[in-house]
Structure 1
Amino acid sequence: MADHKAKKAKEPGLGAKVAGFGVTFATMFRKIETEQYPEDKRPTQLRFHGRHQLNRHPDGLEKCVGCELCAWACPADAILVEGADNNDADGERFSPGERYGRVYQINYLRCIFCGLCIEACPTRALTMTNEYELADDNRADLIFTKDQLLAPVQSGMLPAPHPMVEGMEERDYYQGKVSGATPEQERWVQAKEQSEAAMAAAEKGEGV
């Protein structure tokens, strides 16, 4: 009996209960700060760590030289790089260096977006964009390949492979001396495309 009276004495009074509900009622009439995503997308900060991108030089050659330093720096083991030598015999190059990244993959099931790979890259070939919509219902689709990560060819560029700018060395590219593709590079790419089209037509004719 004494314990029952003690518990009853500790219970909050009517005023305290009304005050508690007052907080609830006051919140009910406040403006709700709801983000209407994905209809309305808020801009990210400039240094936001989003999807990676493999960059190009102004003439279209790739900045990645296949050194694999990004893969070594990754704490989550999310990056796979396989380098290969450029073909100097006919001037066909993917990068200004001796090597290029033949295979480049990032597993976004593992990536923690720490940015250590960006700091490790010696040629500024790898950067991070502001794109953050990477969800998918298929695990295989979250392993991005080089074709998905490579920056698009912009105005003044030519898709690799093609020769370097005549008279330029590798260091000239990284010193910013190349401003775009030259007419010689354009003629080389056009000649290669015509040769490949002729070979394809010949193979098609033989098959018939």
Structure 2
Amino acid sequence: MFKKVNTVSYPEVKEPTAPRFHGRHQLNRHPDGLEKCIGCELCAWACPADAILVEGDANTDEHRMSPGERYGKVYQINYLRCVFCGLCIEACPTRALTMTNEYELADDSRAKLIFEKEDLLAPLRAGMLMPPHPMYPGMDDSNYYKGDVLGFHPSQETSSEVKHD
């Protein structure tokens, strides 16, 4: 009752978020750079606010974006509708979709709050190749899903930089 009120000078001082905070979504990648999203659309079906749009497409050996038969060609999250409940995360069978601690999503345009696949994809780390590229040599779809692909793509072994198209 007689304590001084704890006021935070936001945005100059940013308090850390809680460990299980539900922030902006992120589409994850495998260690070699292939996308984890297989375009199954389960996240869109699980979303109670109908904020997610996914359109899957077939993978080919010449144009491989993810392991398996399909990948998410179109992926959009409408943050004007999203309620950050996390049901899409629970529905994802490949752990492709996770939530970050990023919470500063305000913008002056409604169109900027509809995030496209490029906005949601995790950045490429050292050793990752920008898809499309072939799967890790000697591995098949099941190796990716079991987590057996732990390293970067062999064509990146001599280079320490990430290749972008």
Q: Which of 2, 6, 12 pairs up with 1:39? A: 12
Distance 1:60 1:43 in 2: 29
Q: CA RMSD in A?
A: 1.9
Distance 1:65 1:176 in 2: 15
Moved over 6 A (4+): none
| Paired AA for residue 56 in structure 1 | R
Larger radius of gyration: 1
TM-score, length of structure 2 as denominator length = 0.91
1:3-40 deviation digits (Å, cap 9, x = unpaired): xxxxxxxxxxxxxxxxxxxxxxx86xx42311110011
Residue 75 of structure 2: aligned partner: 104
TM-score, length of structure 1 as denominator length = 0.73
2:97 corresponds to 1:136? no
Residue 163 of structure 1: aligned partner: 134
Higher-helix-fraction structure: 1
Distance 1:59 1:133 in 2: 30
Residue 172 of structure 1: aligned partner: 143
What are the ranges of 5 or more consecutive residues in structure 1 without an aligned counterpart?
A: 1-25, 188-192, 197-208
Percent identity for Structure 1 against Structure 2: 72
SS of the aligned residue for 1:72 comes to: helix
Summarize the alignment of residues 1-208 of structure 1 with structure 2, pairs less than 5 Å apart: 30-88=3-61, 90=62, 92-184=63-155
Higher RCO structure, 1 or 2 (CA under 8 Å, sep 6+): 2
Q: How far off is 1:152 after superposition?
A: 0.1
| Paired AA for residue 155 in structure 1 | A
Distance 2:137 2:143 in 1: 11
| Paired AA for residue 99 in structure 1 | R
1:146-181 deviation digits (Å, cap 9, x = unpaired): 000000000121111100011101110121211223
Are the aligned partners of 1:107 and 1:143 in contact in 2 as well (CA < 8 Å)? yes
What are the ranges of 5 or more consecutive residues in structure 2 without an aligned counterpart?
A: 159-163
